[in-house]
Structure 1
């Protein structure tokens, strides 16, 4: 896990690439390298996970000297791919395997890669750049094309460090407040800065930019749409999951585990502990000392079965203000509230204990239809755990609300449930969670791996019939039946608990003054014209006195205060 950056065009100021690398140095504290000529500057911040030796530092130059690679992520099947390649390898890294794969197979190499990645390869002779992002967009890639130059990086702040103005993209912000959208896969909250969508590649040559889709999920799942018996599905999925975990244990540093009290992470830990090299893997969990929300009873029940060492990380309300500032700096865009702060503390603690790789259970709900709204026919709100719409469009000014356009997502399938799952995988739930998770993990210079997002697993589960996913009102039926022989019924059949922190209560009580001060900052800023401030203050008072069913809108306003403090209108 690392950071990459580049400037393609007439390079007259070499300090700019150094400023970009410095802005995201937390992504790779072990080594920072550069490669430059008159047309391009590349930078790489390295977090050493596989082949810790200096010869695997980047930018990596091919044996022929014609190809220069900067790479962020992991190619989990690099050992298998290495056997297929005719290349004189000088390292034991997955980085060199990726470079050799591109040299031998060109862009077709993408379909052979099992991993999380964003990378860029410069062809010295052709003076062309090829960049790509993994299937689900686990690893980030941001870019802007300005003044006949292409600038790219792993974090938005690095592009701002280049000198691109920090100007809000009003459409994305308006959609966030009005509809809870975090932008389409190619958008950011900042004007003139785009992101390469998951499953897409980019080519840049002669000042011309082309972006193409390379991963066609809708086609890939067809190979699994033959009718399997229920028992065949259980067996095949179990084998695919074990393979995914086995690949994600490939590391030359210690591996740990993020554990909640839910089915997904408990199931994952069950199979993690069946790996040969998983002895005494540490599990990390957070809690807030509020029994209404904490999942510690289920976590401790799970640990009593697996006997893993458990590290419990406490988040207190008086930490929220300072932690919010830190996390907001690393996020660059709005993030998911106090649970994200708690999650950030887990990575801080893991780093202190020299655990540089953590596994977690992201991605199971989307492939096996685990969210409550999958049971409903209407295209309902996708915010879990609230009874009515958490969005407060009425507090927005008419002028600002005019920028909002309700997002429309593709519906490639005839079945409504599949379209909801597809939306969540590629447009809403997963892109949002992956962005939050990448930035909180990298803020502490740690790597996060998500075994459930192995594309083989996702494709296979997605393709299965509805009654394998939801039966008699029980969701994720296959997974529950797989783990039932290992786990107690209280874990196997536990309902989904969407709220894991007392965010609603803290914002209205312990943190009331903090919130009020932030709302005052908005009122006294150049962004006050985005709102009808009287209505906003009235809604805040209503939250304090009557209605705190949802705190999402309160956190939206805080996000504005956190993120836009030093921005231009």
Structure 2
């Protein structure tokens, strides 16, 4: 739910914070409120999910307390926390998770974070000490960006809100690494030089112009402990325990005072989600949504329909055509603020538009299973790849870059805390590559349609459990997610044993044919802009000719050019 924003400093006034909440209108417009104090302005865009009453609006305060809270997300275990806090003497005026978070902070301070099971980014201001405390959830489902200069500290759920008050330049290192290695930046980086993001599982303290950022969740330590507990564990026990945890996670994420739906692909992850959702008593009232492009080489619709045959799900099929891509990209690039994942992301965005039209505000999806259960093909090789289904030829075209831009490039090096090749790759994907970028793409997609996306497979208990299992429980007989497939086999064996399909749309074909004009326009835009010094235009045109003549193993470099042309528009 929601969007948050704040200014501490000379720019803190109603006019400036209103510009920020206006920029975040799509994240929530059930209520838009502000709090102004001396040198402080806080804003909140509300998408009402739990406790729809106005008493739960934010910025949230309580009489006699110096704290003011702005919060984006959901604390799924808020009912249990409320009971615990009530026993400790806390009194509640609403039935919202917002008040539970507020009271939890009063009781435990920053230590409350370890008790939260949810997705969240929040900031709480102490008007007595003039301190700001902010935090982001374990895997970074909800965003938090910030900027600081000598006079102001500014934060928001999206970059565009900060840019209402800040002139920025492109981060050349992030741009170079994106072009050469496909990196979208390290956890604290953005594509803009002076705008930073609070990494997942980190907290931030701001006091008298000083910022302190630190980790609050020790994933490695928890996994090391869990690995010892799971040594020698039997397969039947894993199936039982993981399924039980997953059922609990799904139940928690159905806590809402508004309609809930879910997205479906033909993969193991969402198929298992579908199967378990249909065990619920209210299953017949829950709608499922999937997209397709009417291209049998890529569509997962046949697999989705196989799964739905065995359930009571009302399936909504949304077609995405090449003719829609250009207009959709123009809209979504402004929402994303930074380069994003191509035609599949556009198709997914259209799915959320349909979901919103159906009156559904909360959506579940299957994100996070591949990283926890070693589902990608490169987990079974000694490759350092981060792209599923990638050939031996690099999808990145360093030859099109100027030597000046190449000089900024530095191949990202990721921590290897486990000393185990598989676990270190999974750790990289969870905290540095796959999950951070997918969560950013998907948060913006869902919020663009003013809907809330929830990921039951990213419940930290599930991730820690699956991650800690012996390799044979994850990978066996050349397939990842082994035990997970065994669980799904109890429902649909043919779907459970199907190989993972890396491509979901005919992006390669469309960019070479129906959407070739988008590539041409991108090249022209780069050539006419200040970014031209970063590229060798003749080399770009040469690669483009190769592509049109049939060299189409990957279209990632074409999408990079399209993305960069939008970044130019945003910068200028």
Interval of TM-score (by shorter of Structure 1 and Structure 2): over 0.9
Alignment partners' CA distance in 1, 2:64 and 2:13: 28
Q: 2:251 aligns with which of 246, 252, 263?
A: 246
The 3 A distance-change label for structure 1 pair 84 and 63 is farther
Aligned Cα root-mean-square deviation (Å): 1.1
Deviation of residue 167 (structure 1)?
Answer: 1.5
Alignment of 1:152-551 (within 5 A): 152-161=155-164, 163-225=165-227, 226=229, 227=231, 228-487=233-492, 489-551=493-555
Alignment partners' CA distance in 1, 2:432 and 2:415: 9
TM-score, normalising length: structure 2: 0.97
Match of 1:76 in 2: 76
Query: What secondary structure does 2:135 align onto?
Result: strand
Alignment partners' CA distance in 2, 1:95 and 1:551: 44
Stretches of structure 1 that go unaligned for 5 or more consecutive residues are none
Alignment partners' CA distance in 1, 2:382 and 2:411: 20
Query: What secondary structure does 2:569 align onto?
Result: coil
Deviation of residue 385 (structure 1)?
Answer: 4.4
Conserved in 1, the CA contact under 8 Å of 2:265 and 2:290? yes
Query: What secondary structure does 1:382 align onto?
Result: coil
Stretches of structure 2 that go unaligned for 5 or more consecutive residues are none
Deviates most, 82-91 or 391-400: 82-91
Deviation of residue 482 (structure 1)?
Answer: 1.2
The 3 A distance-change label for structure 1 pair 156 and 173 is same
Match of 2:98 in 1: 95
- 1:2 and 2:2 are equivalent in the alignment: yes
Deviates most, 430-439 or 29-38: 29-38
Conserved in 2, the CA contact under 8 Å of 1:381 and 1:389? no
Query: What secondary structure does 1:404 align onto?
Result: coil
Deviation of residue 506 (structure 1)?
Answer: 0.2
How many residues are matched? 566
The 3 A distance-change label for structure 1 pair 289 and 387 is farther
Conserved in 2, the CA contact under 8 Å of 1:334 and 1:563? yes
Conserved in 2, the CA contact under 8 Å of 1:387 and 1:549? no
Query: What secondary structure does 1:131 align onto?
Result: strand
Conserved in 2, the CA contact under 8 Å of 1:21 and 1:44? yes
Alignment partners' CA distance in 1, 2:535 and 2:526: 9
Alignment partners' CA distance in 1, 2:404 and 2:525: 21
Alignment partners' CA distance in 2, 1:263 and 1:208: 47
Conserved in 2, the CA contact under 8 Å of 1:11 and 1:38? no
Query: What secondary structure does 2:519 align onto?
Result: helix
Deviates most, 134-143 or 226-235: 226-235
Conserved in 1, the CA contact under 8 Å of 2:78 and 2:97? yes
Conserved in 1, the CA contact under 8 Å of 2:32 and 2:44? yes
Alignment partners' CA distance in 2, 1:111 and 1:366: 22
Match of 2:132 in 1: 129
Deviates most, 471-480 or 338-347: 471-480
Deviation of residue 93 (structure 1)?
Answer: 0.3
The 3 A distance-change label for structure 1 pair 343 and 12 is closer
TM-score, normalising length: structure 1: 0.98
Alignment partners' CA distance in 1, 2:13 and 2:35: 14
- 1:110 and 2:121 are equivalent in the alignment: no
Conserved in 1, the CA contact under 8 Å of 2:378 and 2:388? no
- 1:564 and 2:558 are equivalent in the alignment: no
Deviates most, 230-239 or 135-144: 230-239
Once the two structures are superposed, residues 100-153 of structure 1 have per-residue CA deviations (whole angstroms, 9 ceiling, x without a partner) of 000000000000000000000001111100000000000000001113321000
Match of 2:40 in 1: 40
Query: What secondary structure does 2:129 align onto?
Result: coil
Alignment partners' CA distance in 2, 1:371 and 1:383: 6
Conserved in 2, the CA contact under 8 Å of 1:10 and 1:38? no
Alignment partners' CA distance in 1, 2:568 and 2:93: 46
Query: What secondary structure does 2:266 align onto?
Result: coil
Alignment partners' CA distance in 2, 1:486 and 1:258: 18
Deviation of residue 13 (structure 1)?
Answer: 4.2
Deviates most, 103-112 or 508-517: 508-517
Alignment partners' CA distance in 2, 1:354 and 1:276: 21
Query: What secondary structure does 1:279 align onto?
Result: helix
Alignment partners' CA distance in 2, 1:449 and 1:327: 20
The 3 A distance-change label for structure 1 pair 408 and 83 is same
- 1:24 and 2:27 are equivalent in the alignment: no
Conserved in 1, the CA contact under 8 Å of 2:284 and 2:312? no
Alignment partners' CA distance in 1, 2:168 and 2:323: 30
Conserved in 2, the CA contact under 8 Å of 1:385 and 1:499? no
